[in-house]
């Protein structure tokens, strides 16, 4: 493929939330709508990544299909021939490349990954899987198979992106060949997507109850998370119950007022304005209840609109596109895999 590739994946371990939506889904959908003539745009479900932490497997199939529908509801243009939508496990080259890359990856490097340390810290030793440890290698395979240059992801995935660059460079130098296209440096990527979300840095929406940690779909209680499938009423309740502080005036001060800063960020994203503009509008507001009500109204309007678009998704068309993309992407991925197999002496 000659056009540069923009690619991202969203796991199907649960319903998506507004962090996933604004951190990864909207930036790539925006690119697909504005730039698909100049780029190949890949949006896929990393289904093999779904159970790196424990899930209810009887729900996975339905969740995968649901998440694919969310992509379309978010505005992914299925008619565009440069847009590709697929499930990771339907393209076996992902797993095969990951197995090869494993042998060129140090245990130490994977053990230092922040996400691995965070997630494994919460699980018992018997539940921490090799899959969780190896997560970044499979993710690197996802990226490198298609010669990807740009990967819109939230801030929490920066280290994994750096790892993909790192292993691509190492393999290229070891085998003295242009084996992989190295994804752009992360700072350059942020610039590239900056226009889409107004985020020069990677985005990190915080949990509403504990605004010192990120909103995460693996979180059990769900009270601090706005899921795309939440009823507007439930979402309003969650916003009204969001943790704030005792300072009593709205300011953009993430260190001292993380809850307020998070709510300002959510309003900025929902209204497609810069964070500074929104902060200025609410600066000094002393009634947190009134402020939260304004945030809740914006969230409610967004969910009503999004869910109407979700209900209108043409499932037949989605399935046709999915199967066509999977056939095509198997060819593209197998070409890269063969090149790697030849380089390491397997072919």
- For residues 45-64, which are near ligand TYM according to CB under 6 A? 46, 49
Smallest gap, in angstroms, from Cβ of residue 213 to ligand TYM?
A: 9
With b for 16 or more beta-carbon neighbours within 10 A and e for fewer, the 29-66 pattern comes to bbbbeebbeebbbbbbbbbbbbbbbebeeeeeeebbbb
d(CA 261, CA 45): 31
139 touching ligand TYM, by CB under 6 A: yes
Tokens of 245: 């502080």
Nearer to ligand TYM, 204 or 309 (CB): 204
The reply to whether 119 belongs to the active site is: yes
- Among all chains, which residue has been given the structure tokens 């002393």? 286
Smallest gap, in angstroms, from Cβ of residue 7 to ligand TYM?
A: 6
> Smallest Cα–Cα separation from 245: which of 200, 284, 295, 211?
211
List residues bridging with 7 in a β-sheet: 42
154 touching ligand TYM, by CB under 6 A: yes
Nearer to ligand TYM, 63 or 157 (CB): 157
The reply to whether 201 belongs to the active site is: no
Q: Is 43 helix (H, G, I), strand (E, B) or coil?
A: strand
Chain centroid to CA 343: how far? 31
Tokens of 101: 């890359």
Nearer to ligand TYM, 79 or 302 (CB): 302
Q: Which member of 91, 93, 171, 205 binds ligand TYM (CB under 6 A)?
A: 205
The reply to whether 122 belongs to the active site is: no
> Smallest Cα–Cα separation from 54: which of 137, 120, 143?
120
The span of 103-111, 123-131, 198-206, 317-325 binding ligand TYM (CB under 6 A) equals: 198-206
203 touching ligand TYM, by CB under 6 A: yes
The span of 4-12, 51-59, 272-280, 334-342 binding ligand TYM (CB under 6 A) equals: 4-12
**Interface residues with ligand TYM (CB under 6 A)?**
7-11, 19-20, 23-24, 46, 49, 139, 142-143, 151, 153-154, 156-157, 160, 203-205, 214-216
């Amino acid at each position: 493929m000659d056009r540069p590739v923009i690619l991202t994946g969203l796991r199907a371990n649960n319903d998506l939330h507004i962090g996933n939506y604004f951190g990864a889904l909207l930036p790539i959908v925006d690119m697909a709508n504005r730039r698909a003539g100049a780029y190949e745009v890949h949006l896929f479900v990393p289904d093999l990544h779904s159970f790196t932490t424990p899930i209810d497997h009887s729900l996975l199939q339905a969740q995968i299909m649901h998440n694919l529908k969310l992509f379309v509801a978010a505005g992914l243009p299925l008619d565009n021939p440069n847009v590709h939508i697929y499930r990771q496990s339907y393209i076996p080259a992902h797993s095969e490349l990951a197995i090869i890359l494993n042998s060129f990856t140090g245990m130490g490097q994977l053990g230092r990954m922040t996400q691995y340390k965070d997630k494994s810290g919460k699980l018992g030793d018997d539940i921490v899987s090799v899959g969780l440890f190896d997560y970044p290698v499979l993710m690197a395979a996802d990226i490198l198979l298609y010669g990807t240059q740009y990967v819109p992801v939230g801030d929490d995935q920066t280290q994994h992106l750096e790892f993909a660059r790192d292993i691509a460079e190492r393999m290229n130098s070891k085998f003295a060949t242009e084996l992989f296209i190295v994804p752009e440096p992360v700072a350059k990527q942020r610039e590239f997507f900056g226009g889409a979300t107004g985020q020069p840095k990677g985005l990190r929406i915080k949990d509403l109850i504990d605004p010192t940690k990120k909103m995460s779909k693996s979180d059990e209680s769900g009270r601090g998370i706005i899921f795309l499938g939440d009823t507007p009423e439930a979402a309003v309740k969650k916003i009204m119950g969001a943790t704030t502080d005792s300072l009593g005036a709205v300011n953009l001060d993430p260190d001292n007022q993380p809850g307020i800063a998070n709510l300002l960020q959510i309003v900025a994203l929902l209204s497609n304005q810069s964070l500074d503009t929104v902060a200025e509008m609410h600066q000094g507001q002393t009634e947190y209840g009134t402020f939260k009500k304004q945030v809740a109204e914006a969230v409610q309007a967004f969910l009503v609109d999004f869910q109407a678009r979700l209900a209108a998704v043409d499932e037949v068309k989605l399935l046709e596109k999915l199967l066509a993309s999977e056939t095509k992407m198997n060819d593209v991925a197998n070409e890269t895999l063969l090149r790697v197999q030849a380089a390491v002496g397997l072919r």
